Amino acid sequence: MFSEFHSVLGALKYAETRGAAGVRVDFRSPLYLDPERGSNWWTYFFQHSVMNIEPGGGTGAAEVHLNRPVAKYGRHGGFCDLVNGTTPYLYPMTYGVSRSELHRLLTEHIQVHPDIQAEVQRRVAASFLPGAYVVGVHYRGTDATRRFAGALTDYRNDRIPYGGYADEVRLALEAAAPRAYQVLVATDEIECLEFMRREFGDRVLYLEDAPRVHADGLAIHFDPNLPVSNYQKGRSGLVDCLLLAATNYLVKGRSNVSDASLAFNPRLPYSFCVR
């Protein structure tokens, strides 16, 4: 889902530089499609499927259409290439479009549905202690590795231990001491959440209703047997992304979910765990 999100940001940048009238998004991938909500899953989460670049939608200039795989994907992700730059495996340490510019594109053209924004605000108000230093942790397991094939792509080909993330959290907390702290954990792996709860106890926050799988299981968006809808899979990922953006510090690996958090909050400091 968030690779598609970055392809939209890249398309918006491309449209601006090429003088296009706007960007039209029509995403029909079955991974997030929920027929009761319409045929374009982008509109389940974001308000506009057409984002105008020129005032009034332009006067004859063509639109950029994101409606076919060939329009979205290239060597590393099509329009994502514009965002990630020439070394996508090192993004966001290296990049093609800066975080501040991504944030401008996002705020000018992409609006999260108000009910999702309201849910995030409620969760922050209910769970973040006043004055606490909140460190966000995003660990993406399952499909974030491609084993031997990872050597030929921008994916890593082995797992990063959970302890490496915990060590980065402790370093961030040392710098913020003596403030009270909390640790917000967003992960697709049951074992990672269990590990962080053992390490940080009742300081850990997490979405209790977010779908998770075991470390050796299918990725959430590829698993048709999970007792949640495709819409719920996408919504929980977006809520996690926005909650991470609301923290004081982010510990992340190679993932478009937490990359998007950095676009929503371009001043959020972070550690990038990479091998």
Quote the pLDDT of residue 98: 97
Same-domain status, 105 and 119? no
E-strand ranges in the chain read 22-25, 50-52, 63-66, 133-139, 181-187, 204-205, 249-252, 270-272
Name residue 147's amino acid.
R
For strands 22-25 and 50-52, give the pairing: antiparallel
Where among 79, 109, 139 does a domain terminate? Answer: 109
Same-domain status, 181 and 258? yes
Same-domain status, 105 and 125? no
Quote the pLDDT of residue 217: 80
Q: Kindly indicate the confidence band of residue 251, based on its pLDDT and cuts at 50, 70 and 90.
A: very high
Same-domain status, 185 and 261? yes
Same-domain status, 47 and 89? yes
**Tokens standing for residue 93:** 């340490």
| CATH number (domain holding residue 149) | 3.40.50.11350
How far apart, in whole angstroms, are the C-alpha atoms of residue 149 and residue 145?
Answer: 9
How far apart, in whole angstroms, are the C-alpha atoms of residue 176 and residue 132?
Answer: 10
Same-domain status, 84 and 127? no
* Residue 183, pLDDT above cutoff 90: yes
Give SS3 for 130. coil
Q: Kindly indicate the confidence band of residue 150, based on its pLDDT and cuts at 50, 70 and 90.
A: very low
* Residue 149, pLDDT above cutoff 50: no
Same-domain status, 247 and 135? yes
pTM (2 d.p.): 0.91
Same-domain status, 155 and 74? no
Count of CB atoms within 10 A of residue 119's CB? 16
Quote the pLDDT of residue 148: 45
Asked if 25 contacts 71 with a C-beta cutoff of 8 angstroms, the reply is no
Same-domain status, 82 and 178? no
**What share of the chain in percent tops pLDDT 70?**
88
Range of the domain at 18: 2-109
Same-domain status, 151 and 240? yes
- The radius of gyration computed from the CA coordinates of the chain, to the nearest angstrom, equals 19
Quote the pLDDT of residue 75: 46
* Residue 267, pLDDT above cutoff 80: yes
| Element spanning 261, H or E | helix 256-264
Quote the pLDDT of residue 154: 52
Same-domain status, 104 and 236? no
> Residues 6 or more apart from 275 whose CB is under 8 A from it?
156, 158, 160
Where among 89, 109, 129 does a domain terminate? Answer: 109
Number of structural domains in the chain: 2
Same-domain status, 129 and 260? yes
The rounded mean pLDDT for the chain is 88
Where among 75, 109, 143 does a domain terminate? Answer: 109
Name residue 223's amino acid.
D
How far apart, in whole angstroms, are the C-alpha atoms of residue 116 and residue 238?
Answer: 8
Return the closest-CA partner of residue 234 out of 14, 96, 29: 29
